[in-house]
């Protein structure tokens, strides 16, 4: 299956919109509801779904794969409605969080499993298997068991296995969550390469913003089962749509100074130390600081009483700063020192922060907004 | 490219253009469809439990209840001062006495052993834990024989037991209530120890470490971290010991006198006397009352075991201490453990050696070593005593029953395991149902099967079906738990991966789950084989000479007070059964190690 379809794959087809179309997808569980979700993924496109733990990212993938029943909504893939099809008839490949390799089967048997159960001819299956071994640099591991190869090699086997039957859609459920940070960085580069080479549309789920941003052509954020923002990755990053998105993407989020409504979001790299007299400078006290390789990370408790900043709250906002070790970061103040800050760039958002505190509000699902 | 949707505006329900029509709610419909699709996989387990335990039991008990025997009959019996009334009261009292004493003794010995094994690290610990399974695999008659071999001390004449001939005071353990308790303790102490280990396995090492870092000593750690779990495990084991001993059949029948008979022995006797002395329904009525009487303890056991997650819970890595030269505090626990292992080993050795001891007098010193017992086993005299069935025939019957029971249980357990993975609630119900035969006792189950199938399956041609059903029903809880636990403890992701790669649900189950549970399947099969091999109570109730098995032959030739004509041959059968049980243990051990090795 799918052989001819993949052969004819070209740039024009890859850019065609809506290869995967999801409309009004809803799933209900005793303590959780996902959706309604609308999304579309073009051919050859990688959509990264970001969200905190428990936001429904993995559930979304399981619904698309047919592993969980859909309560309501439609899923259309490559022109056919797959909403009611069982997983084995969907042509949706999936890489699981724990990779889910068959422990008793060799690398070769794992790779060709999908081809065997989908009844590819022996010749074709062997040809495809050899091709995957070569492309994923696994040739010398073909006869080994998953327990006999490294974590990175297992990741490659899992990805190759999912791609083997040439699925119409590939789902990746935090496949790097168990890898150590160094290997995860290397592997994400490899995965991007493989996805580009395969040309298979993919949905990649992660809670790691760096990882997601690296892999994404488009990005979507989920929060408590709801789509919060979706768009091209750069656009989402540069223009977060609400305080939650900004906070999740690593922005400092604080009430808009000198205003009774709204918030401002500012990246840690875009907060600068300045003179007390500078226009719009905010005052604060350094609470802690530490070096992180090439940068200095500093946390400053704001003490500026201007506007509603801090009004009605138990404590003033805490701002994170990232300063280069040399240059602007040279001679950074010690803990307990009073400092003044200015923002190089801010994103203004119309919503308020949750009244009961920033993180508590988000964690409990309270939303700000006028 | 992307669907152009304004940011920060979650879909209010989703535009439906391009998908045609309104979107129906399909959750319930799909769940029902899945249910129907999976029904065939549930059927083997449900049908088996219904046909071979629930329906016969319900039918028999409803009859007993409807016709008043269950209420008036037993109340009259218990209150009456005639022979039957006195005997029933005495049997009930014996059951209670043996149940309570056995549970107490097994706990006193088993809990310290469990604590020692759970809390200390030393070479051979895993082997020792596995060794505690051996008594469970031994047929009860072999243990009874072992007690006789070790402690026999007749009222007249010299003691001939291996130990009682050295220390005559030990002769008291060879018969009567002490002998029965010895058998019960032999069987149940290792079980209490294993339950205690499982209970401690549910405690949190992190909490214990927190107690220690906050300044709490060993007593505090016991009180606040692991003690409660150990006691719950021990109590669950003690409760099961009470149930098993209350319903004990063979040890009082063989080692005791009438005055030691339990309610199980009494029901059996009532059934044997049915057409001559008493109404046939009397046995049924007493059975019903026994079940009602034990309903509370049985349910309490199930609830306790589930609550303490002794089955199905994920054991955590227990905080253990390396046993060293300075571990003087562990010495009493070590002594209890060594004594238990020694007890099991000596019992096994006595049966093996006893098969080669040919007695020519009344004392042990007059005995000599030889193969006479084995030759006697295959002699025409034995065939005559068995009513025409030779030992070879009994071996063939035994193997046939064991193989059929094993295959049947594997099929049922796999089907139930698959259904359980798909529908956890239904699976729990099947699990609960499968425990019924264990809680109603072999005699009551056999009685129910006999009455329910009298004239249909209880005819010479189909009697083997009933025996297989009874043996399989009694082994089902253990096999089901072993296999079901393994299937549940593995990740579901390989199965789901197989599905996304194109495998149908059942193919995915076979390709992903079954290989991961291979070790448990082999262990479950061996459990089934060993339990069928040693099942005596129900088989003895149902068999005719053509269906004689090895344990029945052992009983007839050497242990039945009335028909024991060749005790030497019984000793040889005992040794044969020990060898088979040890082989099963060895394979289970090897399989378990291979499973651990793979991680």
Residue A306 has what pLDDT? Answer: 42
* Position with higher pLDDT, B274 vs A299: A299
B598 vs A71, A81, A147: nearest CB: A147
Interface contact flag, A94 B24, Cβ < 8 Å: no
Q: pLDDT band at B180, cuts 50/70/90? A: very high
Q: Which of A35-39, B62-66, B258-262 comes out lowest in average pLDDT?
A: B62-66
Q: Which of residues 165-204 of A touch B (CB under 8 A)?
A: 165, 167, 171
Q: Is residue A303, in this structure, part of any structural domain at all? A: yes
Q: Which of B143-157, B272-286, B438-452, B465-479 comes out lowest in average pLDDT?
A: B272-286
Contacts of B512 (CB under 8 A, 6+ apart): A102, B494, B495, B497, B498
pLDDT of B490 over the 90 cut: no
Residue B289 has what pLDDT? Answer: 78
Residue B245 has what pLDDT? Answer: 92
- Rounded to an integer, the average pLDDT of B362-379 is 73
Q: pLDDT band at A79, cuts 50/70/90? A: confident
> Per-residue pLDDT tens for B45-92?
788 888 888 888 888 878 777 655 556 666 666 667 777 778 888 898
Contacts of B10 in chain A (CB under 8 A): 36, 226-228
Residue A133 has what pLDDT? Answer: 92
Residue B108 has what pLDDT? Answer: 94
Residue B183 has what pLDDT? Answer: 92
* Position with higher pLDDT, A13 vs A108: A108
pLDDT of B339 over the 90 cut: no
Query: How many structural domains compose chain A?
Result: 2
Same domain, A232 and A258: no
Which of A214, A238, A262 is the endpoint of a domain? A238
Same domain, A40 and A157: yes
Q: Would you call B13 an interface residue with chain A, using a CB distance cutoff of 8 Å?
A: yes
Distance between CA atoms of residues B112 and B361, nearest Å: 42
Q: Is residue A145, in this structure, part of any structural domain at all? A: yes
Residue A15 has what pLDDT? Answer: 44
Under a CB-based contact definition with an 8 Å cutoff, are residues B283 and B274 in contact? yes
Residue that is written with structure tokens 């200095």 in the block: A296
Q: Which of residues 83-112 of A touch B (CB under 8 A)?
A: 84, 86-88, 90, 92-94, 96-105
**What CATH number corresponds to the domain at position A314?**
2.40.50.140
User: Of B288-292, B535-539, B567-571, where does the model show the most confidence?
Assistant: B535-539
Same domain, A294 and A174: no
Mean pLDDT over the full length of chain B:
78
The domain of A276 spans 253-363
Same domain, A304 and A211: no
- Rounded to an integer, the average pLDDT of A310-318 is 59
- Rounded to an integer, the average pLDDT of B476-485 is 81
* Position with higher pLDDT, B474 vs A256: B474
Residue B98 has what pLDDT? Answer: 94
Q: Is residue A243, in this structure, part of any structural domain at all? A: no
Interface contact flag, B502 A117, Cβ < 8 Å: yes
Same domain, A231 and A300: no
Distance between CA atoms of residues B408 and B435, nearest Å: 17
Residue B106 has what pLDDT? Answer: 94
* Position with higher pLDDT, A177 vs B312: A177
- Rounded to an integer, the average pLDDT of B132-142 is 85
* Position with higher pLDDT, B315 vs A218: A218
Residue B95 has what pLDDT? Answer: 93
Q: Is residue A92, in this structure, part of any structural domain at all? A: yes
pLDDT of A307 over the 60 cut: no
- The distance of B491 to chain A (nearest Cα, Å) reads 8
* Position with higher pLDDT, B463 vs B303: B463
- The distance of A81 to chain B (nearest Cα, Å) reads 8
Residue B22 has what pLDDT? Answer: 41
A36 vs B11, B31, B498: nearest CB: B11
Same domain, A208 and A282: no
Same domain, A231 and A258: no
Contacts of A27 in chain B (CB under 8 A): 27
Contacts of B508 in chain A (CB under 8 A): 88
Q: Are strands A202-206 and A46-50 parallel, antiparallel or unpaired?
A: parallel
Same domain, A332 and A228: no
Best mutation target among A63, A83, A149, A230 (most B Cβ atoms within 10 Å) is: A230
The chain B residue lying nearest A164, using CA atoms, is B501
pLDDT of B426 over the 80 cut: no
Residue A110 has what pLDDT? Answer: 92
* Position with higher pLDDT, B13 vs B406: B406
Q: Is residue A76, in this structure, part of any structural domain at all? A: yes
pLDDT of B395 over the 50 cut: yes
Under a CB-based contact definition with an 8 Å cutoff, are residues A115 and A125 in contact? yes
Same domain, A107 and A147: yes
> Per-residue pLDDT tens for B156-171?
666 677 887 777 777 7
Q: Which of B186-190, B355-359, B421-425 comes out lowest in average pLDDT?
A: B421-425
Alpha-carbon distance values, A83 to A24, A49, A63, A308, A361 (Å): 12, 20, 9, 49, 35
pLDDT of A357 over the 50 cut: no
Phi-psi region of A282 (alpha: psi -120 to 50; beta: other; left: phi over 0): beta
Dihedral sign computed on CA atoms, order B80, B84, B88, B94: positive
Set out the domains of chain B in order of their start, with CATH numbers: 82-137+180-321 (1.10.3720.10)
Same domain, A220 and A267: no
pLDDT of B317 over the 70 cut: no
Which of A178, A207, A238 is the endpoint of a domain? A238
Which of A208, A238, A268 is the endpoint of a domain? A238
Q: Which of A15-19, A34-38, A70-74, B223-227 comes out lowest in average pLDDT?
A: A15-19
Q: pLDDT band at A100, cuts 50/70/90? A: confident
pLDDT of B319 over the 80 cut: no
Q: Are strands A282-292 and A202-206 parallel, antiparallel or unpaired?
A: unpaired
Q: pLDDT band at B6, cuts 50/70/90? A: very low
Contacts of B367 (CB under 8 A, 6+ apart): B160, B357, B358, B359, B360, B361
pLDDT of A367 over the 50 cut: no
B502 vs A97, A118, A218: nearest CB: A118
Interface contact flag, B11 A42, Cβ < 8 Å: no
> pTM surpassing 0.90?
no
pLDDT of B414 over the 90 cut: no
ipTM for the whole complex: 0.74
Question: In percent, how much of chain B has pLDDT > 70?
Answer: 78
**What CATH number corresponds to the domain at position A56?**
3.40.50.300
Residue B366 has what pLDDT? Answer: 62
**Long-range pairs of B288-294 with CB within 8 A, sequence gap ≥ 24:** B288/B60, B288/B61, B288/B64, B288/B65, B288/B69, B288/B70, B288/B74, B289/B70, B289/B74, B290/B247, B290/B263, B290/B441, B290/B444, B291/B57, B291/B61, B291/B440, B291/B444, B294/B243, B294/B246, B294/B247, B294/B439
Residue that is written with structure tokens 């000593």 in the block: B217
Contacts of A88 in chain B (CB under 8 A): 499-505, 508
Interface contact flag, A86 B11, Cβ < 8 Å: no
Q: What length is written for chain B?
A: 599
Same domain, A56 and A18: yes
Residue B69 has what pLDDT? Answer: 58
Alpha-carbon distance values, A183 to A177, A189, A202, B448, B516 (Å): 11, 10, 21, 64, 28
Under a CB-based contact definition with an 8 Å cutoff, are residues A22 and A40 in contact? yes
pLDDT of A16 over the 50 cut: no
Q: Which of residues 57-86 of A touch B (CB under 8 A)?
A: 65-67, 69-74, 76, 81, 84, 86
Q: pLDDT band at B28, cuts 50/70/90? A: low
pLDDT of A254 over the 70 cut: yes
Burial of B95: CB neighbours in 10 Å, binned 0-12, 13-18, 19+: buried
Same domain, A163 and A257: no
Contacts of A14 in chain B (CB under 8 A): none
pLDDT of B105 over the 90 cut: yes
Q: Is residue A369, in this structure, part of any structural domain at all? A: no
pLDDT of B101 over the 90 cut: yes
Q: Is residue A226, in this structure, part of any structural domain at all? A: yes
Q: pLDDT band at A361, cuts 50/70/90? A: very low
* Position with higher pLDDT, B76 vs B304: B304
Q: Is residue A328, in this structure, part of any structural domain at all? A: yes
Distance between CA atoms of residues B208 and B205, nearest Å: 5
pLDDT of B100 over the 90 cut: yes
Interface contact flag, A72 B1, Cβ < 8 Å: no
Dihedral sign computed on CA atoms, order A119, A120, A126, A132: negative
- Rounded to an integer, the average pLDDT of B511-531 is 86
Q: What length is written for chain A?
A: 370
The chain B residue lying nearest A69, using CA atoms, is B27
Residue B94 has what pLDDT? Answer: 92
């Amino acid at each position: 299956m799918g052989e001819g379809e993949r052969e004819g794959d070209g740039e024009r087809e890859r850019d065609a919109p809506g290869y995967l179309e999801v409309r009004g997808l809803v799933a209900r569980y005793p303590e959780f509801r996902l959706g309604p979700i609308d999304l579309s993924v073009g051919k050859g496109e990688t959509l990264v779904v970001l969200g905190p733990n428990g936001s429904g990212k993995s559930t979304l993938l399981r619904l698309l794969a047919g592993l969980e029943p859909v309560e309501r909504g439609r899923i259309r893939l490559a022109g056919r409605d797959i909403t009611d099809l069982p997983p084995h008839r969907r042509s949706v490949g999936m890489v699981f969080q724990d990779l889910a390799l068959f422990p008793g089967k060799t690398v070769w048997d794992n790779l060709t499993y999908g081809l065997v159960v989908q009844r590819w001819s022996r010749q074709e299956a062997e040809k495809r298997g050899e091709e995957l071994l070569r492309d994923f640099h696994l040739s010398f591991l073909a006869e080994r068991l998953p327990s006999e190869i490294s974590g990175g090699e297992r990741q490659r086997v899992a990805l190759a296995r999912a791609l083997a039957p040439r699925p119409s859609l590939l789902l990746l459920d935090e496949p790097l969550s168990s890898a150590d940070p160094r290997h995860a960085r290397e592997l994400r580069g490899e995965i991007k390469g493989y996805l580009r080479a395969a040309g298979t549309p993919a949905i990649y789920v992660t809670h790691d913003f760096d990882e997601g941003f690296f892999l994404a052509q488009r990005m979507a954020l989920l929060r408590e089962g709801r789509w919060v923002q979706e768009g091209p990755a750069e656009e989402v990053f540069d223009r977060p749509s609400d305080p939650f998105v900004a906070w999740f993407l690593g922005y400092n989020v604080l009430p808009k100074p000198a205003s009774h409504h709204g918030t401002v979001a500012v990246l840690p790299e875009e907060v600068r130390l300045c003179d007390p007299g500078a226009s719009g400078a905010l005052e604060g006290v350094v609470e802690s600081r530490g070096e992180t390789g090439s940068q200095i990370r500093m946390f400053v408790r704001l003490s500026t009483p201007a506007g509603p900043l801090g009004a009605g709250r138990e404590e003033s906002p805490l701002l994170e700063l990232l300063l280069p070790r040399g240059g602007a970061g040279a001679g950074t103040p010690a803990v307990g020192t009073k400092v003044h800050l200015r923002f190089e760039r801010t994103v203004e958002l119309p919503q308020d922060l949750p009244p009961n505190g920033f993180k508590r509000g988000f964690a409990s699902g309270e939303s700000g907004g006028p | 490219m992307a669907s152009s949707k304004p940011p920060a505006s979650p879909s209010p329900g989703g535009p439906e253009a391009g998908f045609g029509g309104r979107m129906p709610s399909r959750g319930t419909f799909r769940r029902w469809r899945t249910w129907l699709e999976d029904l065939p996989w549930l059927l083997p387990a449900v049908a088996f439990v219904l046909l071979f335990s629930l329906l016969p039991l319900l039918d028999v008990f409803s009859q007993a209840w409807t016709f008043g025997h269950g209420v008036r009959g037993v109340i009259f019996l218990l209150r009456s001062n005639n022979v039957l009334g006195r005997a029933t009261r005495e049997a009930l009292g014996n059951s209670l006495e043996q149940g309570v004493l056995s549970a107490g003794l097994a706990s006193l010995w088993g809990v310290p052993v469990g604590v020692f094994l759970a809390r200390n690290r030393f070479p051979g610990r895993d082997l020792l834990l596995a060794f505690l399974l051996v008594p469970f695999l031994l047929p009860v008659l072999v243990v009874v024989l072992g007690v006789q071999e070790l402690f026999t001390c007749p009222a007249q004449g010299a003691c001939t037991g291996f130990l009682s001939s050295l220390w005559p005071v030990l002769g008291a353990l060879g018969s009567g209530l002490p002998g029965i308790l010895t058998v019960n303790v032999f069987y149940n102490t290792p079980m209490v120890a294993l339950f205690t280990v499982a209970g401690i396995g549910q405690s949190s090492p992190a909490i214990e470490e927190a107690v220690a870092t906050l300044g709490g000593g060993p007593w505090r750690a016991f009180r606040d971290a692991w003690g409660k779990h150990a006691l719950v495990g021990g109590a669950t084991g003690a409760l099961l010991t009470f149930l098993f001993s209350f319903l004990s059949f063979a040890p009082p029948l063989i080692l005791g006198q009438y005055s030691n008979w339990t309610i199980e022995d009494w029901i059996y006797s009532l059934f044997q006397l049915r057409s001559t002395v008493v109404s046939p329904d009397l046995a049924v009525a007493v059975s019903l009352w026994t079940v009602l009487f034990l309903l509370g303890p049985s349910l309490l056991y199930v609830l306790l075991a589930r609550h303490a997650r002794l089955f199905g819970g994920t054991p955590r890595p227990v905080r253990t201490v390396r046993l060293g030269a300075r571990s003087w505090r562990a010495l009493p626990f070590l002594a209890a453990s060594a004594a238990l292992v020694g007890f099991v080993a000596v019992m096994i050795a006595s049966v093996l050696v006893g098969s080669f001891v040919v007695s020519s007098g009344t004392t042990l010193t007059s005995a000599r070593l030889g193969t006479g017992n084995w030759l006697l086993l295959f002699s025409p005299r034995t065939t005559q005593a068995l009513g025409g069935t030779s030992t070879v025939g009994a071996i063939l019957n035994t193997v046939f029953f064991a193989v059929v029971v094993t295959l049947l249980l594997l099929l049922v357990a796999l089907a139930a395991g698959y259904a359980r993975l798909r529908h956890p609630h239904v699976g729990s119900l099947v699990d609960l149902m499968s425990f019924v035969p264990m809680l109603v006792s072999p005699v009551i189950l056999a009685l129910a099967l006999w009455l329910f199938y009298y004239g249909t399956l209880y005819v010479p041609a189909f009697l083997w079906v009933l025996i297989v059903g009874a043996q399989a029903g009694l082994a089902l809880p253990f096999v089901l738990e072993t296999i079901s636990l393994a299937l549940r403890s593995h990740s579901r992701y390989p199965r789901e991966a197989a599905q996304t790669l194109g495998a149908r649900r059942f193919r995915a189950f076979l390709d992903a789950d079954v290989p991961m549970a291979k070790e448990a399947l082999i262990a479950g099969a061996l459990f089934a084989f060993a339990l069928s091999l040693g099942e005596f109570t129900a088989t003895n109730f149902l068999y005719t000479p053509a269906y004689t098995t090895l344990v029945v032959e052992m009983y007839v030739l050497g242990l039945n007070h009335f028909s024991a004509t060749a005790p030497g041959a019984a000793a040889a059968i005992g040794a044969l059964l020990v060898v088979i049980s040890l082989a099963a243990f060895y394979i289970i051990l090897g399989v378990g190690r291979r499973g651990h090795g793979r991680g």
